[in-house]
Amino acid sequence: MDIRIYYNSLSNNGRGEECLQALKLRFPADNLIACDITKVDDIKKEIDSVPADDKVVICGGDGTLNRFINTYDPAGLKRDIWYYPIGSGNDFMNDLNKTVDDCPFVINDYINGKTYKFINNVGFGIDGYVCEEADRVRTLSKKKKINYTKIALRGFMGAYSPANAVVVVDGVRKEYKDVWLASAMKGRYCGGGMMLAPSQDRSDPNNTITVPIVHGHSKFKMLRRFSSVFKGTHEKYTDICDFFSAHEVEVTFDGPCALQIDGETVLGVYRYSASTSHRPDENSYFQNFQSEFPG
């Protein structure tokens, strides 16, 4: 097995070659193949040509990672990609609380996007928290009945911390603070009976989705109005609830959280996008990206 290091000679203010030497000390010299990534015209073609048994290490800073994920579709990756930081900032490594001693490490979990179809809804926020907590309870006792309402109440009482979010609805950008829920609804219901999108029509000839955004600083206010979700009367609370009818939505939280897809949990997600075709005969789908790299 050879170790293929694709390094950026321009990283760390042009000291990439110098920084590369530190990485060489971690691997046997006779198995090391170094290549300056700035001189590779087609990185996808280059990496696809590497034997499956060889290890591929990307060596550079945040800009190097950005170039990599925008040149090589992460969904097409069929091998582990390792990363060793030699940039001047290395925000990605710092955000993961990693040090040089932890490197190199596999980054596939942070760059792989996934595409799913959904039949009811997909959402960030307390609904994702409820599904995550329900999964945890199941691991402790398979016989214990899951009380989703009780879990949600615990969340509103402090177990769940709202996040700040950027929501782009059909190209229009909106910013929110203290977001408790940001979903894309093809149906009206989620969570086993909550009528989260009472005006949503699954048979709408325009094939739209409803995007409910629940936001607000007061936990007490959220608790008082929580029961209205089961009757679908929360639309009247315009101070904490916004509703949008859309064909496309993208939601980005300022920290990782649980995402739910028709009640199934995906952990550690920063962003998701959902869209429907304008033709009713095509299914809804969404993409979630577990992390974004700074440019």
Going from N- to C-terminal start, the domains of the chain cover: 3-111, 115-289
Are 174 and 168 within 8 A, CB to CB?
Answer: yes
Average pLDDT, the chain: 82
Give the pLDDT confidence score for residue 11 in this predicted structure: 78
The mean pLDDT value for 118-143 works out to 85
Q: Read off the pLDDT band of 18 (50, 70, 90).
A: confident
* DSSP reduced 3-state for 82: strand
DSSP 85-117: E-SSS-HHHHHTT--GGG-SEE-HHHH-EEEEE
* DSSP reduced 3-state for 83: strand
- Scanning the structure block, which residue is given the tokens 């920084």? 19
- The alpha carbon of 287 is separated from its chain's Cα centroid by a whole number of angstroms, namely 9
CATH fold label, 3-111: Rossmann fold (3.40.50)
Strand order in the sheet with 32-36: 32-36, 3-7, 55-60, 81-85, 105-106
Give the pLDDT confidence score for residue 291 in this predicted structure: 31
294 phi and psi angles, rounded to 5 deg: -65, 150
Q: Compute the half-sphere exposure of residue 174: CA atoms within 13 Å on the CB side of its CA.
A: 19
- Strand-pairing partners, residue 242, are 213
Across 99-113, 138-152, 243-257, 265-279, the highest mean pLDDT is recorded for 243-257
Give the pLDDT confidence score for residue 295 in this predicted structure: 31
181-231: pLDDT as tens digits = 999 998 888 876 788 899 998 878 888 999 999 999 888 888 888 888 888
291 phi and psi angles, rounded to 5 deg: -160, 155
The pTM (predicted TM-score) of the whole model is: 0.64
The count of other CB atoms within 10 Å of the CB of residue 251 is 29
Q: What is the CA radius of gyration of the chain?
A: 22
Give the pLDDT confidence score for residue 174 in this predicted structure: 96
Sequence-distant (≥ 6) Cβ neighbours of residue 254 within 8 angstroms: 163, 164, 165
Mention the CATH class of domain 115-289: mainly beta
Give the pLDDT confidence score for residue 251 in this predicted structure: 93
Rounded Cα gap, residues 21 and 84, in angstroms:
12
DSSP 8-state symbol, 262: T
108-121: pLDDT as tens digits = 877 766 677 788 88
Rounded Cα gap, residues 194 and 189, in angstroms:
5
Rounded Cα gap, residues 4 and 195, in angstroms:
53
